[in-house]
Amino acid sequence: MANYSQGLAKVELAPLAGDGGLGTAFTELGSTSIGSMSIANEQGETTDIFVEEKTDPVISNRTSGAMRVNWEILDVAPDTLVKLFGGTKTGTGTIADPYVYTLPDKIEAKDWTVRLTDSTGIKLLFARLNVFPAFNWVMTKADAGKVTLSGTVLTPTKAGVKAMTITYPGS
- 100-123 average pLDDT score: 95
For 1-53, how does the pLDDT look when each residue is reduced to its tens digit (9 = 90+)?
557 888 999 999 999 999 999 999 999 987 899 999 999 998 889 999 999 99
In 3D space, the residue among 152, 17, 137 whose CA is nearest the CA of residue 81 turns out to be: 137
**What's the rounded Cα separation, in Å, for the pair 139 and 53?**
63
What amino acid is encoded at 91 in this protein?
G
**What's the rounded Cα separation, in Å, for the pair 42 and 92?**
44
pLDDT at 171: 60
- 71-77 average pLDDT score: 94
pLDDT at 47: 92
pLDDT at 4: 85
Transcribe 82-119 into DSSP letters. Answer: HHHH--EEES-SSSSS--EEE--SS---EEEEEEEE-T
Instruction: Report the 10 Å Cβ neighbour count for 95.
Output: 5
pLDDT at 1: 52
Q: Looking at the predicted structure, is the pLDDT value of residue 55 above 80?
A: yes
